[in-house]
Structure 1
């Protein structure tokens, strides 16, 4: 194992730590780690990301279930259209993307570069969502739930499509939707988000099994380290103010998004 690969496996722990601390964000790191540190093709990396994020989130959601911090009604309303969208995206849309995506006499945009550029734009959107102050949104109470079913379902479908394309769990979109549209308290939104991320990511991964060869020994080792990280993150969440951590992580994601844009277009 060389130094770069060691850093990649170490980063897998940080992916889990982020999921354990803020219920999201870790998935936004998985694709760059797999592509730039582990040297894996972006299309394959997006599939691996689904498995890593899905398995880690599923294990992390168990502790929230035990504390009664998962709202299953909200999860179902959001998740069903998301499940359908992510599976269809991985099974039919991704294999149909041409390579190159765009080509002219003086310009060519390959599929792998297009995936990374799209992912960088997702990272920029994610960073703004994390940096923005949402303390006023966290004040909702579970007793006053009022579901906006069509809007929640629509966002579920959009997040599912996004997950299918780039392999990101979408927690940075799910949590605000649950807090604003379903009026869940922040901690319950985090627990519900982890369960949704787990289910739709693993369902999306199933759509890849017939399209992409899977290196199971590597994938299971990488995922195991991420699972260790989510236990560490869940423990640290007792001591670290979540809002401050989320903002700091948002700035980190912003810098990574800018780096990917620069690397894929200029360097």
Structure 2
């Protein structure tokens, strides 16, 4: 119980400090710290906790008006289809190999976080009849691809969704983060339901992760305000941690 609460607090702290990335730590924490022996049970449990945390964060972004709802709806719908397919593939995959691939994914995400983001923003972008012909061919494939990865590995996919939304629509970062939470919640719920039906969710552990996450996020947000001038440094430090954990997971399972 203490390990689960501590893990949830750490996940929430990271979310509060750097605005994302907590979900990528959930599965390794459940396996190596909490001690869940089943990779599939860890993925299902993490997915449920990620969904709850995303919905809690979405409420604040919705009040701030940073969510582009039509774009979020299309991306989420295609992502849910991908997540359902990915979750079924993940459950059929060998647990040890799945965890090794998860480690490799962490390395890739960590490296992508170190890359500088390009400008060329379109703050007024919105999906309607006039822009559908241009935006839909971009949003649908991106959502499907991200959903497959999120369902297969049981992650919220925020670090995949945000770049996907920006690449498809050129919306500003603050809008991409708010919009991504709709997709994270939809994909996390799809994965959690799929794993729960197969008995791969520990409900009590999920509750502890969510409770710890709320406390950690509160601390992280307050700390993030004080360290706002060091946000770039914090993101690079977190990227290095993600890469290091990914290397440990991949090498451990490869052995």
TM-score in same-fold range (> 0.5) = yes
- Count residues with an aligned counterpart: 246
The answer on whether the counterparts of 1:27 and 1:53 sit within 8 Å (CA) in structure 2 is yes
Other-structure match for 2:110? 127
* 1:246-265 equivalent positions in 2, closer than 5 A: 246-265=235-254
Query: Which range is displaced more, 56-65 or 192-201?
Result: 192-201
Other-structure match for 1:106? none
TM-score using structure 2 length: 0.88
Tell me, yes or no, if structure 1 residue 25 matches structure 2 residue 21.
yes
User: Using a 3 Å threshold, how does the CA distance of structure 1 residues 72 and 236 change in structure 2: closer, same or farther?
Assistant: farther
Other-structure match for 1:43? 40
Other-structure match for 1:208? 195
Other-structure match for 1:222? 209
| Structure 2: 5+ residue stretches without partners | none
User: Using a 3 Å threshold, how does the CA distance of structure 1 residues 119 and 39 change in structure 2: closer, same or farther?
Assistant: same
CA distance in 2, matches of 1:213, 1:113: 16
User: Using a 3 Å threshold, how does the CA distance of structure 1 residues 164 and 33 change in structure 2: closer, same or farther?
Assistant: same
Other-structure match for 1:59? 56
User: Using a 3 Å threshold, how does the CA distance of structure 1 residues 144 and 164 change in structure 2: closer, same or farther?
Assistant: closer
Aligned with residue 149 of structure 1, among 136, 142, 148: 136
| Structure 1: 5+ residue stretches without partners | 98-110
Aligned with residue 164 of structure 1, among 151, 158, 177: 151
CA distance in 2, matches of 1:116, 1:29: 12
The answer on whether the counterparts of 1:46 and 1:165 sit within 8 Å (CA) in structure 2 is no
RMSD: 2.0
CA distance in 2, matches of 1:43, 1:143: 41
Counterpart secondary structure, 1:209: helix
Query: Which range is displaced more, 113-122 or 12-21?
Result: 12-21
Counterpart secondary structure, 2:155: coil
The answer on whether the counterparts of 2:27 and 2:43 sit within 8 Å (CA) in structure 1 is yes
CA distance in 2, matches of 1:96, 1:10: 30
Counterpart secondary structure, 2:195: coil
CA distance in 2, matches of 1:130, 1:32: 19
CA distance in 2, matches of 1:87, 1:233: 32
Question: How far did 1:213 drift?
Answer: 4.9
